[in-house]
Amino acid sequence: MRVLFELLIALLWLVAGILCLMAVFFCIYRLGKWSLGPLDRAARQREHPVQFSLVDLLSLIVLFQLPMAAIRMLGLALEQPYESMIYVFYVFGWFVSFLAWWTSVRTLSRAGVHNPWHRSLFVAVILPAAVVGTIGAPCMVVAVALSIFFSDPFMGVDLVKLSSIVVFLLVIVYASGRYTRYVLVAVGNLPDEEEIVVAQLVESPEGHSPFRDLPPDQTAGGLDI
């Protein structure tokens, strides 16, 4: 009987773990869809030609530095020698960075975003921040839950610090989503389901949009490259 009870407890823990993992993936999906989804929907609806610029290449160089810095910081934090594997980690980080860069530049171009400042800030800052916030926030929420459940600091970090990190990551996700919408509003390419919000944002006090009578190239706020 005792063995059966222990098996039941283990099964309940397994089910709880699976549900927790599913909840984490669901939160990651929803946060990513909210912060970066409008750009992807705009790209699929508009399908502008794909264009590259020198600013995009500079953004790629910045992206290449991020995994190198993260790997170095992780190595110092763990205080373990891993020099024999560091270049393998570098190559993997560069590969992931290149895929992220290629995907984001193509998506920006297809959505009609050609302003070099908007593109560079999105690729070099907003995209990495959104990814970190989208993945990090749900994981840190689980860490907070574990700290509360076990009544013990998780990995030596107190509950207040963990909660502060969660709030900071959620602010990053929110700021990334607002910037994504700002870029799309600047070119008039926000997806159809959010165009009502755009109309409210650009309506002047007189009741008409100041952009309504301008041709599309004058509302883009940037250069066609």
Mean pLDDT in each 10-residue stretch from start to end of the chain (225 residues)? 76 84 90 89 84 86 85 65 72 89 90 88 90 89 76 62 86 92 81 48 45 42 38
- At 75, which amino acid appears? G
d(CA 32, CA 29) in angstroms, rounded, equals: 5
What pLDDT is attached to residue 211? 40
Helix, strand, or coil here: 206?
A: coil
The strand pairing partners of 154, in sequence order, are 157
Q: Which residue has the tokens 């910081």?
A: 73
Work out the number of other CB atoms within 10 angstroms of the CB of residue 8: 10
* H-assigned helices in 122-158: 127-150
Q: pTM for the complete prediction?
A: 0.71
Q: Which residue has the tokens 């990513």?
A: 32
Helix, strand, or coil here: 224?
A: coil
